[in-house]
Amino acid sequence: MGQVGGPQKYTPISTETVGGALWLYFYGFDNAAQRRLNPLGLVDGAYNRQFIISELHGCDRIYAVRALNTKWLDHPPRDHFDNEIFKDWLWVNSAYTAEVAGMETINKLIEQKDLQAPGYKTIELIEVQIPVFYGPFQQLYEKKGVYELAFNEAVSELQEHEKAALVGS
């Protein structure tokens, strides 16, 4: 457990902590089951911060590999279950957007020469996303094929970027 770039504490993932976080998310803090499952009242990062990008301000380049595409790639919601999937997709993507927005603003200010203070630099963000719909509810049941697809997309993007860097030098 430790502190990284802010007040957040990171702890190992366990069955108990995931169960406590799920119970917290669905039923709240103040009940006997929640106190039993999660006596410290911890909030799992999957619900608090799905993406850790802002702490990477010291990097020159960030590859954000995502199993959930920022574009809605499924049919329009047709029923209550579809609406819940859509709401979760919006929720996860809004968290990602917030994580990236500050970095993009600083990049733009540097580019426009409005921010020239020491310690600020442009960070290249390379987003790698799978080209198929994989909704938030589906992510509860990890599928090896989805993660292999994301891995292969990331490797391909990395190879293309490194090849372009070699040609440019």
Per-residue model confidence as pLDDT tens digits over 82-131? 888 888 788 778 878 888 898 999 999 999 999 999 889 999 998 888 88
Amino acid letter, 18: V
Q: What is the pLDDT of residues 21-52, one digit of tens each?
A: 666 556 666 667 666 666 766 665 555 556 67
| Helix/strand/coil for 113 | coil
Place of tokens 């990395």: 158
Task: Choose among 81, 64, 45, 52: nearest CA to 130.
Answer: 64
Which residues are CB-contacts of 167 (< 8 A; sequence separation ≥ 6)? none
The Cα 126–Cα 63 span in angstroms is 5
More confident call, 90 vs 68 = 90
- Hey, how many other C-beta atoms are within 10 angstroms of the C-beta on 136? 19
> Residue 114's pLDDT is what?
95
In angstroms, what CA-CA distances link 107 with 103, 114, 131, 167?
6, 10, 27, 25
Average the pLDDT over 66-75 and give the result.
81
Residues 138-157 have a mean pLDDT of: 77
Whether pLDDT at 165 is above 60: yes
Check residue 1 and give its pLDDT.
42
Query: Residue range 155-159: average pLDDT?
Result: 89
pLDDT at 17 over 70: no
So what's the pLDDT on residue 3? 44
The per-residue pLDDT for 107 is 94
pLDDT at 14: 73
pLDDT at 4 over 80: no
Q: Confirm if 125 and 64 have CB atoms less than 8 A apart.
A: yes
Q: Which amino acid is located at 87 in the chain?
A: K
Average pLDDT score, the chain: 77
Yes or no: say if 130 and 153 are a contact pair by the CB < 8 Å rule.
yes
